[in-house]
Amino acid sequence: MKLYILAIFTFIFSTNQLSAQSNPEQITAIICGKLIDGKSGKARNNAVILVAGERIIEVGDKELISPDYQLIDLSDYTVLPGMIDAHTHPLIYGDDYQTNHLKGTSAYNALHGLKVVQNWLNEGWTTIRIAGDADVNYAHFEIRDAINEGLFKGPRIFGAGHYLSITGGGGDINYISNEQSIITDGLIVDGKEEMIKTVRKEIKNGSDWIKLLVTGAFMSAGDNPQNVHFSDEEISTAVEEANRRNIPVMAHAHATKGINQAIKLGARSIEHGTFLDDESIRLFLEYDAYLIPTIYIGEYALETFDADGPQAKNVEITKKYRDASREGYKKAIKAGVKVGVGSDNVGFPPNFAANEFGQLVDLGMSPMEAIKAGTIVNAELLQKEQDLGSIEVGKLADIIATKGNPLQDISELTRVKFVMKGGELIKLEE
């Protein structure tokens, strides 16, 4: 059935290089000008990738090509693994996002979010992790399921149902009169018993990550990112409940104490990590935790957000702490902390997220290391490295290409010209 669907898609997307195929077991040969496979330290010239069904069956040179194969000629392109964004919120949009989710029904949020993730796929993001989202009815998991069922094209989706927050924290709405009862964008959790119940409910409703707002946040009104919100007991309860079901915890943490406490209590990844210190770096390495620093969104906020608008608090504190946080990230990268690409994309322009690569290069990564941060490192974070993150035999054929060489100009990744997901051609541009 899957092969039959592939044949139909291939027919729909037939181009000069691609002719309609009648044989569902057709092998496609992708000719690569340069290949960055996500594993090796340097690019390889004139490689050929063979794809059958949804997987890569061979990687070699031109001798692999047979006249029976369908050809995709990318000899003018640099070919890479599909990009993985480890921190996204497809359902969030607008500056006043904390109440925007109430304007549309869950059905509208799903339709809107589907369009958003399709745009991301088109830019080369073949996999995303959702860091909790704003729809009370888990519309983003309906999007994921519909994509997995083959109803729509879209990226592979993993992630958390909601961000879990204390009363008055970053997932609460702190600027509405206390006479109003309002559905918050995050789920409010106070104390051990509520944490057990909420984590179980998140898992029941499809979460394969649990997201905790361990500290205050930049974007939400009325809380302070320098404060730690959850107690040790609440964090370890979340980790224990989740881990018992083989589900990891991602911890939003700005404050130093919150970062360090979340790592020690078992969070697999720290999101933002703004005020990390030397002790945090030591803990990242000791506990093998990942850092998803979401750097470019701060630059974007300073460039584009209205300093007096709904994101005034965000702009002010981003400006204040920008330089110190960049120093911390530099140190973490230098020390060998596992750093992944995460954009915190909340409905910004589709190619917004790939600017994160340039930020990582500015902070000390080589372009090759930055590419790995957005491919194989994130695949390992997701524990999906057997299927994703590199161009190797046996892996899913999630493949992208750029016209120029991103090792020379990392911004090429904001101009992805070719996208294939699981052997299905999504886009091919000159």
Closest CA to 168 of 210, 238, 224, 226: 224
Q: Find the length of the chain.
A: 430
Q: Name the segment binding Zn ion (CB under 5 A); options: 92-100, 106-114, 125-133, 406-414.
A: 125-133
- Interface of this chain with Zn ion, residues 15 to 34, rule: CB under 5 A: none
Minimum CB–partner distance for residue 369 and Zn ion (Å): 23
Q: Does 356 bind Zn ion (CB under 5 A)?
A: no
Cβ nearer to Zn ion, comparing 208 with 344:
344
CB of 88 to Zn ion, least distance (A): 8
Nearer to Zn ion, 144 or 162 (CB): 162
CA dist list (Å): 103 to 181, 268, 393: 15, 34, 46
Using DSSP's 3-state secondary structure scheme, residue 339 falls into strand
Q: Which is nearer to Zn ion, 123 or 344 (CB)?
A: 344
Sheet hosting strand 55-60, strand order edge to edge: 55-60, 44-52, 27-35, 70-81, 399-402, 416-421, 424-428
Interface stretch with Zn ion, choices 75-83, 117-125, 130-138, 318-326 (CB under 5 A): 130-138
- Total residues contacting Zn ion by CB under 5 A comes to 2
Q: Which is nearer to Zn ion, 132 or 367 (CB)?
A: 132
Q: How many CB atoms lie within 10 A of CB 122?
A: 17
Judge whether 276 and 294 are in contact, CB under 8 Å.
Answer: no
Under 8 Å between Cβ of 355 and 296: yes
Considering only the stretches 29-37, 131-139, 326-334, 401-409, report the one whose residues sit in contact with Zn ion under the rule CB under 5 A.
Answer: 131-139
Based on CB atoms, which residue is closest to Zn ion, 213 or 399? 213
Q: Nearest approach, Cβ of 213 to Zn ion (angstroms)?
A: 9
Compute the least distance from the CB of residue 294 to Zn ion, in Å.
7
How near is the Cβ of 356 to Zn ion at its closest, in Å? 13
Closest by alpha carbon to 400, among 125, 147, 170? 125
Angle at the Cα of 66 (from 61 to 72), degrees rounded to 5?
70
Of 376, 84, 89, which Cα lies nearest the Cα of 211?
89
Cβ closer to Zn ion: 116 or 401? 116
CB of 63 to Zn ion, least distance (A): 47
Q: How far is the CB of 56 from Zn ion (least distance, A)?
A: 32
H or E segment to which residue 428 belongs: strand 424-428
Question: x-or-dash pattern for Zn ion, window 313-352, by CB under 5 A?
Answer: -------------------------------x--------
Please state, in angstroms and as integers, the Cα–Cα distance from residue 178 to each residue in 151, 173, 368, following that order.
43, 10, 51
The distance of closest approach from Cβ of residue 344 to Zn ion in the complex, given in angstroms and rounded to an integer, is 4
Considering beta carbons, is residue 97 or 141 the nearer one to Zn ion? 97
131 lines the binding site for Zn ion (CB under 5 A): yes
Distance of alpha carbon 232 from alpha carbon 210, whole angstroms: 16
203 belongs to the binding site for Zn ion (CB under 5 A):
no
DSSP E strands in 254-402: the ranges are 269-272, 290-292, 338-339, 399-402
Q: Smallest distance from the beta carbon of 272 to Zn ion, in angstroms?
A: 8
Instruction: Provide the b/e sequence for 165-178 (b: ≥16 CB within 10 Å).
Output: bbebbbbbbeeeee
Q: Which residues bind Zn ion (CB under 5 A)?
A: 131, 344
